Amino acid sequence: MSRIAYVNGQYVPHNEAAVHVEDRGYQFADGVYEVIPVVGNKLIGEVGHLDRLWRSMDELKMAEPMKRAPLKLVMREVLRRNGVENGLIYMQITRGVAPRDHPFPVDAMSSIVMTAKKTSPEKAAKKAEQGVSVITVPDIRWGRCDIKSVALLPNILAKQEAVENGAYEAFQVDADGFVTEGTSTNAWIVDQDGTLITRAASNSILSGITRADLLELLESNNIKVELRSFSVDELHTAREVFLTSSSSYVQPVVEVDGKVIGNGKPGSISNNLREIFMDYMNN
Ligand code: PDD
């Protein structure tokens, strides 16, 4: 089955899908995006992702390209046309096409593109069984990391540094020495007393939908969590570390900056939370 992309109202072959050279997303990174996981034909956290998409557009004073109901239909059509039962939807909305000039264009229409790709549940399960390593890097991003903007250069540079160091992810660290989040994931630790800690939502991090869904699951399972910033030292000496995102779900971390976490294997709390999250997605 050949891949199909959605571009401004048209379903087109993926390898021909294109936007105009003067699309403001291309020229200014003047756009927002969402990545939505699909498990067994179900869109996971759909309401949360669409709420966040609209919030991102509102914060950037960007016009919606279409209403929510037709957008939901397009997502399902893109999945159907690509035969994706397990995978990810990517959608990007920009301020549209206009002659290059910094102020908002007066009558440009927002652009929207959408793609879907398959992912392998088996591969993800294997990575979760083994755990991954992360490095820490300075957080050099702007002051509105709560907006899911396509302007991702600092994230890309940090992720590249991770890759060059044989790591899966880079956790970014603010000027006070506290971890903000990964380049495309939220960061969590379990301290030596067994307390679960993740940074509170603010302009310094993206309020992850996986993070929010997991927080709800924790509450319904009576598992306590501290919403506070944690230092690099706390990260290095944690009993367990894990990360969350739409593409990684709950992913145990077994090494940070070359230091082994716990016994170098995914910890029991991380494993338990991953199981709880997988149950939630599969049911
Ligand atoms: N990234 N923090 C950042 C900076 C992110 O880009 C993401 C998501 C997250 C986790 O959010 P969520 O649980 O809603 O996926 C945290 C997506 C997956 C990406 O850029 O591919």
Q: In the listed set 89, 119, 149, which residue is the last one of a domain according to the structure?
A: 119
Same structural domain for residues 68 and 11? Answer: yes
Structure tokens at 36: 């939505």
pLDDT range class, residue 165, cuts 50, 70, 90? very high
Task: Return mean pLDDT, the chain.
Answer: 97
pLDDT range class, residue 203, cuts 50, 70, 90? very high
Q: How far apart are CA 251 and CA 6, in angstroms?
A: 30
Same structural domain for residues 46 and 161? Answer: no
Same structural domain for residues 33 and 68? Answer: yes
- In the chain, DSSP finds a helix count (H) and a strand count (E) of 8, 15
Q: How far apart are CA 114 and CA 269, in angstroms?
A: 36
Range of the domain at 147: 124-282
Same structural domain for residues 240 and 202? Answer: yes
Cα 185 to ligand 1 centroid, rounded to whole Å: 5
Which CATH number does the domain housing residue 32 bear? 3.30.470.10
Q: Is the pLDDT of residue 221 over 80?
A: yes
Which CATH number does the domain housing residue 140 bear? 3.20.10.10
Q: In the listed set 119, 138, 171, which residue is the last one of a domain according to the structure?
A: 119
Same structural domain for residues 84 and 194? Answer: no
* pTM given for the model: 0.97
Cα 99 to ligand 1 centroid, rounded to whole Å: 31
Q: How far apart are CA 139 and CA 214, in angstroms?
A: 25
pLDDT tens-digit series, residues 19-29? 999 999 999 99
Same structural domain for residues 138 and 239? Answer: yes
pLDDT tens-digit series, residues 107-141? 889 999 999 999 998 899 999 999 999 999 999 99
pLDDT tens-digit series, residues 58-85? 999 999 999 999 999 999 999 999 999 9
Active-site residue identified among 42, 117, 127, 148? 148
Same structural domain for residues 129 and 218? Answer: yes
CB 188 within 8 A of CB 251: no
Same structural domain for residues 43 and 147? Answer: no
Q: Say what percent of the chain tops pLDDT 70.
A: 100
Active site residue 148: yes
